[in-house]
């Protein structure tokens, strides 16, 4: 992307050509590759799965050298990540540069690393130390890229929980939490100056799980429904994710940034859950993810940004057996560790890979595990990525604004 200008950023739209439900089209799906498990296939055996779903982008929650080496010369774009526990360390420019040299520069250009995510959902931890360290860490990592002459090909960003919003309904009234406005403004200004995207993790599943009797399942699963009309903009919404994305667009516009590149760094649906986890079924997961991928393949924008292609990373590639929390946490994957489908995905290429996987022995016991070789700091985050369940004290629901976020969309769903 071209560099942004302050406040009113000029956006070079990312061209997304997608391979969904047709082998003729070109792919552009993003997929999150988490590894909080001890039974996953080797990265070499993951490559065919990524290609089988038409994904051209992968987001890691670390900078696993095994993965980055395995995907060399595949032309698949990578976001690598630095965990929240390393933010204070990354404030030191020399340490940031050492990390970039070892975990990014060393793999270029063979492995196509295009972005570094510094921290995950930091602002909604309500931890003043983490929050104060976030932007300085991002700036140090970017400075390291500049010093190494990599800033034209690698950007720096951070992923936010949707709970950074204080108001999410109607989408046209989207606004950031008042206590976060100053911090968010500085971060978005950084995005504009460096040409990096604004990342949001968005899960309509949580709204349904919280109030299954009030929230329309069809509305959250991209199924046919009457939808709702935003009373202020008169725009029609037939699914919750698009409403969430446009609420973010409105929130950004409200602080003076109308054309920031917004990407959904996580969204997905669990195929299994505990008795109290409404909607966590394989059929609902199939509908959510397959309908979503179909929309991406159609290059369909949101009502507020109809001409902008969707930039979405599905969560996640695998079910991860070591994730803590309720059953849903371990069942967001499109695939099981043996590389078979978690549920029917409807892609001939996936069926072929899954069939071959069953006869080839699957993960072969190698497992990339959760702790790749160390670096400065270790390339792998010891805590992995944040739990996405509302049952975790440090998860999305720890944010005081979550109730407002869910209530806003309950109001929206009640109008269906």
In terms of Cβ atoms closer than 10 Å to its own Cβ (0-12, 13-18, 19+), residue 153 is middle
Task: Identify the active-site residue in 44, 77, 85, 121.
Answer: 121
What is the model's pLDDT at position 379?
Answer: 36
What is the model's pLDDT at position 405?
Answer: 44
Question: Is 124 inside any structural domain?
Answer: yes
Boundaries of domain holding 81: 29-335
Contact by Cβ (8 Å): 318, 336: yes
Name the pTM for this structure. 0.82
Q: How far apart are CA 235 and CA 272, in angstroms?
A: 34
Q: How far apart are CA 159 and CA 145, in angstroms?
A: 19
Interacting residues of 53 by C-beta distance below 8 A, sequence separation 6+:
27, 29, 31, 293, 334, 345, 347, 349, 350
Strands 155-161 and 112-120: parallel
Q: How far apart are CA 415 and CA 410, in angstroms?
A: 9
What is the model's pLDDT at position 354?
Answer: 63
Question: Is 42 inside any structural domain?
Answer: yes
State the residue for tokens 């929050």. Answer: 131
What is the count of structural domains for the chain?
1
Contact by Cβ (8 Å): 363, 41: yes
Question: Is 299 inside any structural domain?
Answer: yes
> pLDDT in tens for each of the 416 residues of the chain?
323 333 334 333 222 322 233 322 333 799 999 999 999 999 999 999 999 999 999 999 999 999 999 999 999 999 999 999 999 999 999 999 999 999 999 999 999 999 999 999 999 998 999 999 999 999 999 999 999 999 999 999 999 999 999 999 999 999 999 999 999 999 999 999 999 999 999 999 999 999 999 999 999 999 999 999 999 999 999 999 999 999 999 999 999 999 899 999 999 999 999 999 999 999 999 999 999 999 998 888 999 999 988 899 999 999 999 999 999 999 999 999 999 999 999 877 776 676 665 433 333 333 333 222 223 333 333 223 333 333 333 333 333 334 444 445 554 544 45
Question: Is 72 inside any structural domain?
Answer: yes
Question: Is 143 inside any structural domain?
Answer: yes
Q: How far apart are CA 359 and CA 354, in angstroms?
A: 9
What is the model's pLDDT at position 254?
Answer: 97
What is the dihedral angle through the alpha carbons of 95, 4, 117, 44, rounded to the nearest 10 degrees? -110
Please, which contacts does 4-8 make with residues 24 or more away whose CB atoms are closer than 8 Å?
Answer: 4/191, 4/192, 4/193, 4/194, 4/195, 4/260, 5/192, 6/189, 6/192, 6/193, 7/189, 7/192, 7/256, 7/257, 8/256, 8/257, 8/258, 8/259
Residue 329 among the catalytic residues: no
Beta-strand ranges (E) seen in 202-278 are 228-229, 236-237, 262-267
Q: How far apart are CA 103 and CA 117, in angstroms?
A: 13
Residue 121 among the catalytic residues: yes
Contact by Cβ (8 Å): 229, 235: yes
Contact by Cβ (8 Å): 235, 400: no
Contact by Cβ (8 Å): 379, 373: yes
Question: Is 369 inside any structural domain?
Answer: no
Q: How far apart are CA 181 and CA 189, in angstroms?
A: 12
Closest Cα to residue 380, out of 392, 368, 398? 368
Q: Residue 82 belongs to a domain with what CATH number?
A: 3.20.20.80
Task: Identify the active-site residue in 166, 266, 277, 329.
Answer: 266
Residue 258, token pair as written in the block: 């109308």
What is the model's pLDDT at position 383?
Answer: 28
CA distances from 321 to 271, 318, 358, 372 (A): 14, 9, 19, 18
Contact by Cβ (8 Å): 354, 332: no
Q: How far apart are CA 18 and CA 383, in angstroms?
A: 33
What is the model's pLDDT at position 355?
Answer: 60
Question: Is 4 inside any structural domain?
Answer: no
Question: Is 221 inside any structural domain?
Answer: yes
State the alpha helices, DSSP H only, in 54-199: 65-70, 87-90, 93-103, 128-147, 181-194
């Amino acid at each position: 992307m071209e560099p942004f200008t302050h406040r009113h950023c000029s956006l070079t739209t990312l061209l997304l050509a997608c391979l969904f439900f047709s082998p003729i089209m070109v792919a552009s799906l993003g997929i999150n590759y988490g590894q909080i498990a001890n039974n996953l296939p080797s990265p070499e055996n993951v490559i065919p799965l990524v290609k089988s779903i038409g994904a051209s982008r992968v987001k890691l929650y670390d900078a696993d050298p095994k993965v980055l080496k395995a995907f060399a010369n595949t032309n698949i774009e990578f976001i690598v990540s630095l965990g929240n526990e390393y933010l204070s360390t990354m404030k030191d420019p020399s340490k940031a540069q050492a990390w970039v040299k070892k975990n990014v520069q060393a793999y270029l250009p063979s492995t196509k690393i295009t972005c570094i995510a510094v921290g995950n959902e930091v602002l909604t931890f309500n931890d003043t130390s983490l929050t104060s360290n976030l932007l300085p860490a991002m700036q140090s990592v970017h400075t390291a890229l500049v010093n190494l002459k990599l800033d034209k090909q690698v950007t720096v960003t951070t992923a936010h929980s949707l709970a950074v919003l204080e108001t999410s309904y109607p989408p046209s009234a989207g606004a950031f939490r008042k206590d976060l406005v100053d911090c968010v403004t500085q971060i978005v200004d950084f995005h504009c100056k460096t040409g990096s995207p604004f990342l949001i993790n968005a899960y309509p599943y949580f709204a349904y799980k919280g109030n299954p009797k009030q929230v329309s399942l069809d509305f959250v699963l991209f199924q046919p429904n009457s939808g709702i009309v935003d009373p202020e903009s008169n725009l029609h919404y037939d699914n919750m994710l698009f409403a969430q994305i446009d609420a973010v667009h409105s929130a950004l516009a409200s602080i003076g940034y109308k054309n920031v590149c917004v990407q959904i760094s996580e969204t997905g649906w669990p195929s299994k859950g505990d008795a109290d986890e409404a909607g966590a079924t394989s059929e609902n997961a199939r509908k959510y993810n397959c309908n979503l991928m179909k929309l991406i393949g159609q290059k369909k924008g949101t009502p507020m940004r109809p001409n902008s292609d969707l930039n979405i990373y599905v969560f996640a590639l695998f079910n991860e057996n070591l994730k803590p929390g309720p059953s849903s946490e371990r069942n967001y994957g499109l695939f099981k560790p043996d590389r078979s489908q978690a549920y029917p995905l409807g892609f001939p290429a996936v069926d072929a890979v899954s069939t071959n996987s069953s006869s080839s022995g699957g993960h072969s016991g190698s497992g990339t595990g959760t702790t790749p070789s160390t670096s400065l700091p270790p390339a792998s985050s010891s805590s992995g990525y944040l739990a996405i369940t509302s049952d975790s004290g440090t998860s999305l629901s720890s944010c005081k604004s979550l109730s407002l976020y869910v209530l806003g969309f309950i109001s929206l769903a009640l109008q269906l």
